[in-house]
Every structure is written in structure tokens, then in C-alpha cells.
Chain A
Amino acid sequence: MPTEDFEQATVSLFKNKQVQAIEWSFDFSWNGAVVSEWCDGILHEFSNRGALTGHGVNLSPLSARFSKRQEEWLANAKEEFKNRKYVHATEHFGFSEAGPIAQGAPLGVPMNAESLRKGKDMMKRYADATQCPVGLENLAFAFGLEDVKRQGDFIDQLISSVDGFLLLDVHNIYCQLANFGVSELELLNSYPLSKVREIHLSGGTWSGSISGKRAAVRRDTHDDAVPQEVFNLATLALKLCPNIEFVIMERLGYTMMELAEQQEFREDFETMEEILEFCYA
């Protein structure tokens, strides 16, 4: 996120050339949000270097109704990818637009033939607009255990239609492990691991359980340090997924206002560097 706290936290990482690739949520600036000169310079540099990936947030690829807003979103994406060179483009599994809501957080869908048909159509539109490889990110949110069990295979069917790839978010996997008590290996193996081209790491928070079924609910809020469990999962994913090209750390803007939080982010980055060195040395 191109916020001041993020710049303060990461400027030394860029200066020391520790950052080898970056990801840009390219639809962030379409709502009139200002991109700083510092951020724009970095985007330009990494794009020229062939080290910039694009991450869409608001397409809503599994909405049942194709809306005018989505049509405009795809037209904007087409323009964006024409003007700036990206290695690939990703979006989130799920739907966020329906009824009275234009956009929001993605939610799960009934994984039936109609959802599959709609999703395949949207992935094709996304690939046509960006003219580059496209992928889907696994969702942390699930309405229930069945959603958790079936998401991997359903994503595989969606991305196969465009020869696409999986963006494996390991904190999202951690959320489902914590919330549904499934086996780590069983859950990871339910995803098409050979199609993982990128992984995400982030932190999150815990919220209360209204049902009393669990002590707390793990949330993918991107506003805290990366927990050790997520580093462990990332290490496992690196061993299980033979085609990973990008490892991206995510953090929400304005969540590192304290110097200690910025230092913690840099330490997390360096921990991930060490893990990569360990896995690929």
C-alpha cells in the first residue's frame, strides 16, 4: 500500500536492493486515490525490470450477474495493462458485487455448475483484458467446512479454463486451519500445488466467536506481523509447490504507524529472505 507508514517501513529494503519484485493493487488508484511520487517511481522501476505483478481487488469474478461496473473495471484493466508492463494478473476467488452492493469483501459461492460457468467466463474476460497470464487467490473466508474442502478443486477448474495459475495465500490457509480444524497437509493438497506461481504472506487478528464453537475466529486483516505458524506454512508451501516465482508480503496501509511496527515488518521480510535461502540454497 502506498501510504507514508509503508514507505517508512520499506524504504531501507528498497535502498539495500533486498526487494526483488513488487505487487501492485492496480485498481486502488481508479477511485481517485493519489499515488505518491515515491510509489510511482518504484512501480516504473520494477515494471521495467519485469518484476511487477498486478493484483486486482474489486472485479468480483464470481458474481452471477455481469454488471456495467465490471465491464468498466475490465476496460480500465485493459488500459492499465497496456500502459504498464506486468508479469501476470491475479484476483480473489469469490463474489463481492450483488443486489444493492457495488463492491466489498469477497464471499464464498455455491460451487455448482452455474458458478463455474460464470467464473470461467469472467476469467476469460480478465485474460482478454490484461493479455497476460491470470490467476486466482484462495479465499480466507468460508461460510462453512464444505466451502473449505471444495475451494481448491473449484479454483483448479476455474484457472484451467484459461491455462491460469494459483496465487496461494498462506495466511488465508492458516485462517481456515485455525477456524475449521482441518489437517494442514490435507488442506494444502486439496489445491493444485503444481499451478502455484505466487504466494502471499501476511498477518491478521482474532475476533470473538458468537457460537462458542471455537475460542476465537482467525481473520485475514493484514494489519499485524506475520505469525510463526504462517512462516512454517510458507516453508512447507515452498517445498510442496515446484513452480513458485514470487513471494509477496502484504500489509494494509496505516497499520504501521509506530516505529516498532515498521521494524517488525522489516524483520518479517528478512525472516522470509532466510527461509527462501534455506529452501533454494
Chain B
Amino acid sequence: MPEEEEETLQDFQDALIELLSSGQPELVIFETLKTDPRFENYRDYIAEFDPDMVAVACELMGKWAKWKEPEEI
């Protein structure tokens, strides 16, 4: 069970950070968070997300994110 939870959290963080750094419009990202099956296990958590803060997260990714080399992913 802990292994399953670990994988679920890893998958969630991977998908979240990938979406936030995708360059799509913020409101599209906000809607995707609510419908994308990759976030199914964290639906209750995401239901609390504020669209303004999702927009801030997207901007932070654009400003500070340093991408991994392809072989590191």
C-alpha cells in the first residue's frame, strides 16, 4: 500500500508540474486540472484550487523552472 501511495504521489507531481509548465493559457490549465484523469486520485485536493493561484504557479514555472536534460527524465 505505501508503495502504491508513493507512485500515486509521484505521478501526481509529475503530471501537475508538466501541465503548469505547458505554456497553455492559465484558465485552460485550470479546467484541465479538474477533468484530466491523471489527477483522478487527487480530485478533492484539486477541487480547492484557486484559478488566480494556478495562474501564479504557471508564471512561476515560466520564470524560474529549469528543465531536465532528456536523459534525466
Contact = CB atoms under 8 A, between A and B. Distances in A.
Interface in A80-101: 95, 98-101
A99 B6 contact: no
Given A101-B21, A102-B72, A219 B9 contact: no
A217 B52 contact: yes
B56 A141 contact: yes
Contacts of A110: 9, 12, 42, 45
A16 interface: no
Given A105-B64, A114-B8, A143-B48, A100 B18 contact: yes
Contacts of A109: 13
Nearest to B50: A144
A213 B50 contact: yes
Contacts of A118: 6, 9
B50 A104 contact: no
A99 B49 CA distance: 20
A65 to B, nearest CB: 5
Interface in A107-127: 107, 109-110, 112-115, 117-118
A271 B58 CA distance: 35
A142 B73 CA distance: 26
A64 B55 contact: no
B55 A98 contact: no
A103 B20 CA distance: 14
A211 interface: yes
Which interface class (under 10, 10 to 19, 20 to 34, 35 or more) fits B? 35 or more
Contact of A101 (B5, B17, B51): B17
B41 to A, nearest CB: 9
A221 to B, nearest CB: 10
B63 A64 contact: no
Interface string B1-32: 01001101110111111101100001100000
A144 B68 contact: no
B17 A100 contact: yes
14 contacts: A63-B13, A65-B13, A98-B17, A99-B15, A100-B21, A102-B66, A103-B65, A142-B50, A143-B54, A144-B50, A146-B48, A210-B27, A210-B52, A213-B50
Interface of A: 63-65, 68-69, 95, 98-105, 107, 109-110, 112-115, 117-118, 141-147, 179, 207, 209-211, 213-214, 217, 219
Given A103-B66, A147-B48, 17 more contacts: A65-B10, A95-B13, A98-B16, A100-B68, A101-B66, A101-B67, A102-B72, A107-B20, A110-B9, A114-B5, A118-B9, A144-B48, A179-B52, A207-B56, A210-B55, A211-B50, A213-B50
- Which are the 5 A-B pairs with shortest beta-carbon distances? A98-B13, A99-B14, A104-B65, A144-B48, A105-B60
